[in-house]
A and B are shown apart, each in its own frame.
Chain A
């Protein structure tokens, strides 16, 4: 294996990358927290333990995590059932409404909710006109954060639970009915048990999202509801208090790792897989009880409105003039494109958008491009070394984004031999690096699946005919995995486009990506123009993300039945307002694709 120079180079780069960007920054975080001057100190622990505020925000984070896991499951299971399992009128329209979270999430969504329901929001102003005595800050604190995050993070349910439920073998349902089971019993005793592994996975994901939440508590938490990640941010900014930030990040990291190991353990336990030789496709179930049917329809459409209402307002108000935005008026004669003209023609308004696109595109291409070689090697030369390296590449997946960012920041703010003696903080490179790092695990898993599904005999044939390693790679393997690779790159691009959680730690002050700009527009005593700009950013983001999604899925789905079509499981887009790097849980990839299983 060491005879090929290409292999040697790839291996060297890989080992260096792992050491310099995955291992050392995080280890250094530990060192800086507990051994800042080579001597053990419990200062950070003591300080935090004695701080009521810190303990309170820790408590709040866990409270949010637990309640979010419950509420997201309740809403998520419901919307999956009404779109995939029950016969509901207008299910397609409902699905579109619920699916808006694919292209509308994270800081963008939090900002949108604030502009609509916040103290100066459009709806609040309208209501205050009717009820002058109302509390204008009604949409603030724990309730607001929970509500926003609940409706923003059902994406995982739509993806994973949705595809799992489509895979339920209809024959088992029919069999149960023949045995006299009621609809409710079938749902409870036949359908839900088969979904158990997926449900575990999405529950843990929701929990982690709540735990690491940053933008939603920042934008909507107000004074009384503070969580860990915003506190990390406060302390990370001060050089003398960074150990406190590091310790808080470590707490998050440990909690995340603990939850993930619980998940893996649960997965190993008994799961029910329907392994019918000839699985019958699921047929939608009517709800026989008239009352229940009406109730389910009503709830489904109310949820639909909750999902679609903020988005619709944002789109409509992006076409209103400033006066209309500030007074909350919505009439046809105030229609204008001035917001769009301003964003697209003013350099200062367009710049964050361009910065985000450039960063995301570069990160997407670098991560996919680099890992193409790595994945190939991993499949070709198996062994303990390769599996060890593969495990290490999953590090970004088990750590919260805030911790990764902080690790990079405190490790590379001084010359470091690992990166050739350069200082990375204060450059535009460090954010790009972080973007690449957080995308590594997802990209690796997807590419591995793609490579595994390539017909091995083609490669053998090429080798027999005398083709070299590189030639085979270039002419045989690459074309075969390219569609999947492009799809992964596109998803990475989408996912990074509205990033806030990483950028807030690492962005260059002169090249601030869109997420930061949108956040700034939510406070800043924001001018009406800034709010208008944010609406336009939101619409533009949705157009870009929607187009990318369509290119990846819309076209591919049409050839779904083709045996060679490789589907890439959807990735959470835009996040949640929480950790953006919790992409895919191990057990959640129950996609019915013809791609090889992910592990």
Chain B
């Protein structure tokens, strides 16, 4: 049975007349990398703020390790918001120490962990620099460190890759994956679907303040396959037949949609009789397509 670190049940949040979340439900398995997807304004950030107890839900409940979310859980969660920044006039080390202590760390532990992370990201010599001397990318490394420094069980990143240059984004992605390997649970929101496919196990899709899709990424993709196959032939043409229809027809390359009751084996055998097959591949939808389809259907 899957163990869930975090469960959000029927959460509702209104700001005056504006409905930010209406029946949001997500279940985040322990140790997973969980992506929250959704168009802008769908309620992702509100959901993350509720998990971080920045605001409270109007209805519904949030369970963390099967306990109702409470103040002590702050120490178990690391949050990197989309709108992130640092005190410009403070020194880097001093500031990181301050933020770590606010997460409940003892002074000595905070220093130890910060030194570890500063070394790991090769920025030890920044300790005495002022934040205003850093470039945006440099500052984001500090923001990443202060998110993970107190070694929380759950890490929440809101649009973690926005604003990062490709090199830094790769570094952060690597660190997120290695944290996941150490057993940390990770939730992040993003618009960038390719990063979802690369690193996520689970996704939830939020649209217009509702969760409309949730589950393991492979399952969801399978739900959205429509029995189409890509076939590449060695210089010959496929003729019309009863087994499938053409979605796309190019020279040598075909996208087929199998008719009801026809298995991929039937189609493969049929083509193989007459043609030289170079490749035959089931088309798995990209997350982006699932995303667009799901929103259209909703």
Judge: A and B partners, yes or no.
no
